[in-house]
Chains A and B, each alone.
Chain A
Amino acid sequence: MSHLPTIDNLALRSRFLHAVRDYFYRHGFLEVETPVVIPAPAPEEYIESIGAETGFLRTSPELAMKELVCAGAEKIFQIGSAFRAEERGRKHREEFTILEYYAVGWDYRELADFTAKMFASAAITATGRAPLTYQGNTIDLSYVEYVTVDEAFQKYAGVSAFAADADGSFDERMVTKVEPNLGRHGLTFLMDYPAARASLSRLSKRDPRVAERWEIYASGIELGNAFGELTDANEQKQRFDAALQFRAEQGMKPYPEATDFLEALRKGMPECSGCALGVDRLVMLLADAYSIDEVRI
């Protein structure tokens, strides 16, 4: 362990986690812990898992937490490590901490509103001040804006998000043109991803070209991802199969089918929304840390 964070940053992290837990408890959430070693990760195109002797280290607690929702849990949250192979950089570590939560009956926009308030509240409790200064920029967490992915692409990349998705330039444009402009003064919710990027979210009833999915940004940094959860087991299985086929075609590591999760989904999942936040990045913002190494051992 060559670069230990300062004790001050670890203390800030501790105060923040304390405040986060407090907020969730006050809002009626149950804290849960699900296994770190899992039989099958969610088959996603670009997320690489790390193998464990008896399965895989979880890339996120998503499938297990959704099984709990299927089993009757209404509002749950979890804080713990997740693992993704080959991700290393100022905003990435192969082991990182996720704050993940689900609320039955909440629309994905209600979840966005809750998320902004939760983060702002815990940030003030942990730091004792507002607004924040991150790498020279003032970030007011009470300032919240909503922009659709397509609006952001039109505005910052000069093309529609659908065209960028179709010609394969979506990720490059997102990273080089769009993201640097998000959350410049506060929190930005990037809403409604093109349907091809729905992942585990359901398609919008208002506009089936997009999915009920958002990502939250501050100071150009992606902090988390949320879905209006897909509850249709058949559609979910089709998407998983397509992702597994994509992985096979690309010569990527094969994943076993997530049978427990699909079985739970078949029995029925209530309408719900869920979000996963990168705790290390949240603390980076509070600590004005350039690199994740400054806030995580």
Chain B
Amino acid sequence: MKTSNRARRLLLLGAGLLPLALASSDHRVRAADDAATAAEPAQSIRLSPSQYKQSIADIFGGHIAIAGRFEPEERTEGLLAIGARQVSVSSTGVERYDDLARGVAAQVVDKDHRDTLLPCKPKAENAADEACARDFITAIGELMYRRPMSSAEVESKVKASSEAANTLHNFYAGQAAILSDMLISPKFLFRYRVLEPDPNHPGQQRLDAYSKASALSFFLWNSTPDKMLLKAAETGEINTKEGLKRQVDRMVSSPRVEGAVRAFFADMLGFSEFETVAKDPQFFPRYTLTVKDQSQEQTLRTVVDHLIARQGDYRDLFTTPHTFLTSSLAPIYGVPLIDKTDNGQPEHWMPYSFQPGDPRAGILAQASFVALHSPAGRTSPTGRGKALRENILCQAVPPPPGNVDFKFVQDTSNPVYKTTRDRLTAHRSEAMCAGCHKITDPIGLALENFDSAGGYRTTENGVQIDTSGELSGVKFDGPAGLAKVLHDDPAVTSCVAKKAFAFGAGQLPAANDAEWVGIQKKFTDSHYNFVELLRQIALSDLLYKLPPSKVAAAAGQSVQ
């Protein structure tokens, strides 16, 4: 396929970054690898940074530090998970992945880890040991490539690692070299969806069992399949209704489902955009880098606690008073947090509940939302309203025209237009602006009690802030009023269902598909239990279907 071939070409270019001892054999390794790939995948999906990290943690342990930057992600239709289908690896990305790979490999074979992470000890540390290398590569290969390696693949890796070990006079250096190579392989960096003939529907194709296992694992765990899931793929259990249910039930009851819930909400809420968020310290001194990082964690902890620990109604995420704070975050919210951590020790995360009636209820009142969607020195009801429409309600907001005049909006010291509402009202007097701002501003203005950094305020330039608004014909006042209206808006639940599906499938569901309608009904019947939603999606055929165009292309047919 186009994407994976491009990635491979780039990775071949990147082979020059490998140790010289390995470089000489690299083309032979690649040739053997390519020959071992039986079927061309119908779709390739690049691992997200969180999937990369979680996979490494699950394969080698959480103590392996992953330091370095990843290739930028692509947000498509509101989700990075959809964009992951469309990205390859740039030449700079190859270097980044190579740096990451070397760092991981060096740790896996270092003296602190080799005894636990390698299944054997070499006969001598200063030379190759093919038997031990074979055991190591076979053990990690299945988890890294998410399928058993062919004997040709294993032997080519064993040969390469032996060459490296003998050249470097160090068995472990040889294993590190081959592990680095595997970590920058497209087979690790990309999830492939490989098709096979469907025996139950002659003439049709389906995902092969290992692709299905990967789809399931990255959907429910945001990570590589474990050995039990790979075994279910090997035996074909995963292709039976009962077998799939056994695996899905096992996986949704595992603590690892938290990884998927975190990854999904970080994606849905646009947390990758935090990379460019900055606040002017002169005006928002409480918004430190620690706060910026911890505000995301606060929301994810709130989500995990509510949806998994409490098995709560998804809609209540917008009204829940329960959250978690640190002593760095608490000042943003103007509340005390008594953390008796010893001096100099890392801060504790502590549960915190806002008082009834506090405008801070719900995740949209948290700094992760209001600060993310505000410029450095002022609020942006338009930005907040747009994010709310797109991320929470799945409603499109057109981009502004190219010649838009921001003179009113950005003039925060205008003596006439003292509040943001005043300025936006003036801005909307321009006809070309009015249409879109009607969509975004009434809900964004409801959050004006929260400044650009998430602090609470009641006045702006000495004028009382008006936080009244309207959504879907329902009028409300203030952040708590907005939260209540959102709670009761059916678009909120249908949106999260669509996005959760897309997080796993890499595409949005067809609105009128009967199976999809059934999944949504079960979500409703479960009182909007998010884990149950994940379970129903995982059990459906929809998660494992490819778009017709992909199926046709894989079969070598032309698509009309």
A, B from the same assembly: no
Measured CB to CB, the residues of A under 8 A from B are none
Measured CB to CB, the residues of B under 8 A from A are none
